[in-house]
Amino acid sequence: MFFSMLLSFLLLVTTNAVAADVHVGLVSNFSEISTGTSNLYGGYFKDGAQFALEKLKSKLDQAHLKIVFDEFDYGMSDVRVLEAAKKAVQSPVVAVMGYGYSVNALLAAPIHHDLKLPMLTPSASANRLSDFGRYVHIGSFSNKFMGESLAMIASQKLKLKRVLLLPALNCAYCTDLSTSFESGFKNYGGEIVKSIPILTEDKEFSDLIKMAKSLKFDAVLVPNQELSSARVISAFVNAGIKTTFLGGDGWGENGQEFTGVLKNLEFTGYSTSHWSSDIKTQQFSSDYKKRFGSSPNDTSVLAFDSMTFLLNSIIKAKAITREGVEDALNSQSTFEGVSGTFQCSPNKAPKKKLVLLKVSTGGKAKKLEVITPSGGV
C-alpha cells in the first residue's frame, strides 16, 4: 500500500512538474535605429525570435521548459558590441542569438569562443565566422556562396564581361562579399575594371561618378547594406550612367531603406536573398502579419529560423547547460526553416538555397530563380 501511494505521488509530481526557467540572450541594436537596413531598434529581429518562441510553446511546455529572453543592447557602437558580449557571458543565459551584421558577429565571436558561451548569428554571413570553431554558429549562407553565385549569374546568364566594384571599406560584410565575387568572376573569365572603396556613411558621390564615367564597364557590384547601396545606385542613375547593378542580401527583400531612397528611379539590378515572399511561405507571412501588424522581412525570417533552430536544440539537449546546448546545436544535421532546408555542419555556415531577385523601378524586387549550392540541400 505504501509503495503504491509513493508511486502515485511520484507520478503526480512528474506530471505537474514546474517548468524550469531557461535564459536565452537576444543581442541587437535595441536602443538605436539601424543606419543601414530595415531593422528599426532591432524590432524585426526581436519579433522573429518572439514568433518562434510562440510557435514552439507546446513543445517547450511538454519538455517543462520556460524560455526567458534576456536582452543585451549594443546600439550602433562597436565598443558596445564587445560590452554586450561580455555581459552575456557573465549572465545566466545558456546561449545567445543576435549580432545581425558581420562586423558585429566578428567582434563578438572571439569572446564567445574563448569564454564558451554558444552564439548563433541569424544573418551575418562573413566567411571568417566559420573559422572560429566551437561556440560560434551561423544561420546564414556564406558570402563565398553569395559571391560565387552572383559571379556565375553575371558571367554565365547575364553575359557580363567587365564589372566595377564599390565595396564599403568600413563594412566587413561588404568587403568580404566583394572579394568573393571578384574571385568567382575572374574564374569565369570576367574582368574587374576597378575596385573603388567607399564608406557606409557617404552621401556625396561626385568624385566617384566622375571616375566611373572615365571607365568602361557593363555592370557595377554594390555589395553593401540597404541604405548605402541605394544611395550609390541613385547617384549613378541620376548621373545618367546606364548599367546593370549587382548586390547581395544586404539590399534586403523589398527593404524599406532601399526602396525609400530609390522611389521611382528606373534601373535594372540583381541581388540575392534568403527567401522571397512569393515562394511557399504565404502562411508564415499571413500569420506573422496578423501577429505583428506588418509583413515579415528577411531579418525577421532569419531570426525566426535561427531561434527555432536554437530552441529545438535546447529541447533536445541532454543537459540545460551551455555545454549541453552546444552539443545539441552541433548534433543537428538538417533543419527545415521558412528560408528553406539547412544542411548543417558543426560551427560552419549551413548550405541553403539562395533566391536570386531581379530588382527594377523603385528598387522593387521579384524572385527570378532559386540557386542550389554544389552538393545540393
- Pairing type for strands 162-165 and 191-195 reads parallel
Same domain, 210 and 228: yes
Q: Tell me, yes or no, whether 153 lies in a domain.
A: yes
pLDDT attached to residue 3:
47
pLDDT attached to residue 275:
82
Same domain, 62 and 200: no
d(CA 12, CA 47): 36
Same domain, 132 and 163: no
Same domain, 170 and 205: yes
Report the amino acid identity of residue 65. L
pTM of the model: 0.88
Same domain, 128 and 237: no
Render pLDDT for 113-141 as a digit per residue (tens, 0 to 9).
999 999 999 999 999 999 999 999 999 99
The shares of helix, strand and coil residues in the chain, as percent rounded to the nearest 5, are 45, 20, 35
Render pLDDT for 284-299 as a digit per residue (tens, 0 to 9).
889 999 999 988 888 8
pLDDT attached to residue 39:
55
Same domain, 68 and 97: yes
Residue 279 binned pLDDT confidence (cut-offs 50, 70, 90) = low
Q: Tell me, yes or no, whether 222 lies in a domain.
A: yes
> Which domain range does residue 233 map to?
143-273+354-371
d(CA 98, CA 108): 10
pLDDT attached to residue 41:
55
Looking at mean pLDDT, say which of 27-31, 65-69, 254-258, 339-343 comes out highest: 65-69
| Residue 93 three-state SS | coil
Render pLDDT for 38-48 as a digit per residue (tens, 0 to 9).
555 568 899 99
Q: Tell me, yes or no, whether 348 lies in a domain.
A: no
Q: Tell me, yes or no, whether 155 lies in a domain.
A: yes
Query: What is the residue whose three cell numbers read 507571412?
Result: 285
CB–CB of 203/234 below 8 Å?
A: no
CB–CB of 92/22 below 8 Å?
A: no
d(CA 228, CA 64): 46
Q: Tell me, yes or no, whether 376 lies in a domain.
A: no
Residues shown for the chain: 377
CATH number at 111 reads 3.40.50.2300
> How far is residue 263 from each of residues 36, 104, 258, 260, measured CA to CA in Å?
17, 30, 9, 6
Same domain, 233 and 113: no
Same domain, 244 and 295: no
Same domain, 105 and 15: yes
Q: Tell me, yes or no, whether 377 lies in a domain.
A: no
Same domain, 182 and 216: yes
Same domain, 96 and 181: no
Half-sphere CA count of 211, side-chain side, radius 13 A = 13
| Residue 352 three-state SS | coil
Same domain, 154 and 119: no
Domain count of the chain? 2
Q: Tell me, yes or no, whether 226 lies in a domain.
A: yes
CB atoms within 10 A of CB 31: 14
pLDDT attached to residue 13:
43
